[in-house]
Amino acid sequence: VTAAVYLPLEVIRQCCASKGLAEMHFYWSNDAVRTIRTHLRWATPLSLPLIFLAATIHAQPNEVWQDSLGRLCVVVWLIVLTVFWERVLNPRAGVVSDFVRDNNDGWRVQLRYLIYGVGVLVPVVLGVLAVLGYYYTVMQVGIRLSRAAWLIISLMLIHAMLSRWLLVHRRGLAIDRARAKREREREEQAAAGGELPISNVPVVEPQETDLATSTSQTQNLIRISVVIAGIVGTWLIWAD
């Protein structure tokens, strides 16, 4: 259980390293990356020992330990998680605020408060349930939430990598088309008795428009595929 929590946290931490994948290749907001990196530094070392103790005690047959020390570890970890999400998902200074700053239409502004509320309320509700004695239920929900976190992180990275590949592929196509156009223009000028300077080669607008349209359609297909995969994965996690 501890490894299942640590690995996605470490993947995100490495991606959000200074001048790392998130900033240099995925083009995530620098402020958002810095926010995630800053709060992972204190949340990870506090969370892992608590998760390890809670999982170890949960695996023991002694119900007294589970209802005392095990429950205490879970409640303390949920407090840590609540503070972490409150800082990271803060509507005015967190990760979501950067998204809204670039997309400030109505539904996105409201969405940031919904994400913030869900992120903060879920660990709070689980903590209350653990205090009230529903320790087994909290552990089972926690296992499914860790799987959901795996799914979300995986889909985020897949989407970012596919978007990066699409950008590189589009640049390559644009360069190839520009070179082909330059060669055709030079051949035509040479056949006419003069050579056109490379710097004066015009850009072909119809080709650029077709390329932009194709890229936009591919991006929409990637988004739809990621959303469908997320829906199916979420159903599989919570169906059993």
Query: Per-residue pLDDT for the chain (240 aa), expressed as one digit of tens each?
Result: 677 778 888 888 888 888 877 887 777 788 888 888 899 999 999 999 998 988 888 788 877 777 788 888 999 999 999 999 999 988 877 777 766 665 555 666 677 788 888 889 999 999 999 888 888 888 888 888 888 888 888 888 888 888 888 888 888 888 888 888 888 888 878 877 654 454 454 444 444 456 667 777 888 888 899 999 999 999 998 886
Joined together, the tokens standing for residue 199 give 């710097």
Angle subtended by helix axes 95-102 and 30-58, to nearest 10: 140
Give CA–CA dist 142/220, Å, rounded.
Answer: 33
pTM over 0.75: no
Annotate 140-170 with b (16+ C-beta within 10 A) or e (fewer): ebbeebbbeebbebbbbbebbebbeebeeee
Q: Torsion angle of alpha carbons 217, 219, 225, 231, nearest 10°?
A: -120
**Residues 149, 8: contact at Cβ < 8 Å?**
yes
CA distance 240 to 238: 6
pLDDT of residue 78: 92
